[in-house]
Amino acid sequence: MSHNASAAPVLTVDGPGGAGKGTVSSLIAERQGWHLLDSGALYRLTAYAAGKHGVDLDDEAGLARVAANLDVAFPVTGGAVQTLLEGQDVSRAIRTEQAGERASRVAAVPAVREALLQRQRDFAKTPGLVADGRDMGTVVFPDAGLKIFLTASAEERARRRHAQLRQAGEDASLASLLQEIQARDARDTQRSVAPLKPADDAVTLDTTRLSIPEVVEQLTELLARRGMASGV
């Protein structure tokens, strides 16, 4: 039975943090005129909401309740994606390194993943959806019309994150960022539930030496070849 009952076209973009998934996904969604699902934000939001409501990260049942009742939206304003939790813009608050670490812990809890599964599938509405995450093509949208696995070397991803943080006026050690990325990769690829890996029918694209516009162009061409380009 199809998991994508809406018949809306779905592009999944999976891969490790720092490969460019978020930027590429929002640009493709804007170009196509499609909806956007930032699934990684759902785990960050669950961790953030848990802290806000006094739920411990070791409380699996409590985390699942928080996940099932998340009041979340991803409006696009002037080309930029906002993340709203309970009507508040928490886009910056959930993007810190600490928030990422907490989200990775929350994402490893099976009850949380189950609570968020149907919510993620509900994002697949016409005219189409770009789903950005780590298990979009393998678990959430196994029938997606096009599945992409973006990757890049850990060193390049650490450099990108370091540049982002410096641009934002935050001080960070490149060596410690690389260590954190490698630890997160190990945890995400080795977890028993929905480990990070390409779907069997995914197109893998290494972005280490590609610019964001080059990646967007390649994905747009792939959508066109699959008959999924909207022509917007």
16 is in an annotated binding site: yes
19 is in an annotated binding site: yes
79 is in an annotated binding site: no
Full DSSP string of the chain: --S-TT---EEEEE--TTSSHHHHHHHHHHHHT-EEEEHHHHHHHHHHHHHHTT--TT-HHHHHHHHHT--EE--EETTEEP-EETTEE-TTGGGSHHHHHHHHHHHT-HHHHHHHHHHHHTT--TT-EEEEESSIIIII-TT-SEEEEEE--HHHHHHHHHHHHHHTT----HHHHHHHHHHHHHHHHH-SSS-S---TTPEEEE-TT--HHHHHHHHHHHHHHTT-----
Calculate ∠ Cα 198-201-203, nearest 5°: 65
22 is in an annotated binding site: yes
20 is in an annotated binding site: yes
51 is in an annotated binding site: no
137 is in an annotated binding site: no
The tally of CA atoms less than 13 A away on the side-chain side of residue 160 is: 22
87 is in an annotated binding site: no
Calculate ∠ Cα 86-87-92, nearest 5°: 90
Residue list for the binding site for ATP: 15-23
Residue list for the binding site: 15-23
